[in-house]
């Protein structure tokens, strides 16, 4: 059994990736997954991600939503996206009971858990889309990669803020504290588990890449269709990190993520354009790089065309 190193960029990727690892879908292909996360020994900081991939020290990477474009602008073209697990934003804006519409947020403090463009950038863009002016958005951005957002909810319940952007299942924790989730327009995003490898690795390991994408697809199916198996995996791996012990949080997490995950892990064109516009299109050094340049979906397409995915859901 060969071990494949998979690096997660952020704790928000872990619900799906723990299921990918612990469902053991890779075993029939002769592999097991060693899952790492930024902040651990393998990659102490975000800056280590691209370096590890380009040095051949990890097999696959989840994330890296903007650096691919930066690297291409510098002439480094090996970073390659292969698949996308979800295309819709999963962050939830939880607010005090008196906040009924986005208009009610005008000038009031909102806590946001990440300064990444795909988090705080998307929130700002949604609030602008909903009618707030730039100077009416009062966002306190705290870069927190721990995945434990209890204190973000506490900022609201103690009156220090009126709202907070959180990952699931902290939306349920907030609801249990008397808060509610403010409905926002749907927003296509390249977010969480975006599967990446280098073109060198792909050329040298075509059978591994084919098996990994198949396993990735099977893990999506497993997550979406086997809640009784998925919920214990989520709780076992995430309860200590989240500080949430009750089963209901992991039932909620499985149910809501199952709606978000793609049966066929292709990116939406609007999601790619969104991640590009948030960051890349604003940087003069990167404006000559096209939105689709880092993507190579023909490996996924080859698998899909055999009917592999359709048979899973038949």
pLDDT, one tens digit per residue, over 50-101 is 999 999 999 999 998 888 988 998 999 999 999 999 999 889 999 999 999 9
Q: What is the pLDDT of residue 233?
A: 98
- C-alpha 119/C-alpha 102 separation (Å) is 17
Same domain for 104 and 239?
no
Q: How many domains does the chain have?
A: 2
Last residue of a domain, one of 181, 210, 226: 181
Q: Same domain, yes or no, for 309 and 202? A: yes
Residues 273 and 194 in one domain: yes
Same domain, yes or no, for 118 and 226?
no
Q: Are residues 103 and 136 in the same domain?
A: yes
Of 181, 212, 243, which residue sits at a domain end? 181
Domain that holds residue 48: 2-87+190-313
Question: Residue 209 is encoded by which pair of tokens?
Answer: 């890449």
Q: What is the pLDDT of residues 123-135, one digit of tens each?
A: 999 999 999 999 9
Same domain, 200 and 282: yes
pTM as predicted: 0.94
Q: Among 181, 198, 222, which residue terminates a domain?
A: 181
- CATH number of the domain encompassing residue 163: 3.40.190.10
């Amino acid at each position: 059994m060969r071990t494949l190193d998979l690096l997660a960029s952020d704790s928000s990727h872990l619900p799906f990736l723990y299921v990918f690892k612990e469902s053991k879908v890779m075993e029939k292909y002769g592999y097991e997954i060693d899952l790492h996360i930024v902040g651990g020994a393998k990659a102490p900081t975000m800056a280590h991600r691209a370096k590890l991939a380009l040095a051949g020290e990890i097999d696959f990477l989840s994330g890296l939503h903007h650096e691919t474009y930066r690297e291409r602008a510098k002439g480094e073209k090996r970073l390659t996206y292969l698949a996308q697990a979800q295309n819709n934003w999963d962050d939830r804006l939880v607010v005090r009971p008196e906040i009924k519409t986005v208009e009610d947020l005008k000038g009031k403090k909102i806590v946001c858990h990440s300064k990444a463009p795909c988090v705080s950038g998307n929130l700002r863009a949604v609030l602008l889309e909903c009618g707030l002016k730039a100077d009416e958005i009062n966002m306190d951005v705290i870069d927190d990669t721990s995945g434990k957002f209890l204190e973000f909810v506490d900022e609201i319940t103690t009156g220090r803020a009126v709202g907070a952007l959180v990952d699931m299942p902290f939306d349920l924790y907030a609801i249990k504290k008397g808060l509610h989730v403010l409905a926002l327009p749907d927003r296509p995003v390249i977010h969480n588990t975006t599967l990446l490898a280098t073109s060198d690795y792909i050329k040298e390991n075509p059978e591994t890449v084919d098996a990994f994408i198949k396993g990735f697809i099977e893990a999506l199916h497993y997550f979406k269709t086997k809640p009784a198996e998925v919920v214990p995996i989520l709780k076992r791996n995430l309860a200590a990190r989240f500080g949430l012990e009750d089963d209901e949080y992991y039932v909620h997490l499985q149910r809501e993520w199952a709606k978000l995950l793609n049966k066929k892990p292709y990116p939406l064109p609007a999601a790619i354009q969104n991640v590009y516009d948030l960051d890349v299109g604003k940087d003069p050094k990167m404006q000559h790089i096209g939105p689709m340049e880092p993507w190579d979906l023909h490996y996924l397409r080859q698998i899909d065309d055999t009917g592999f995915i359709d048979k899973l859901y038949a």
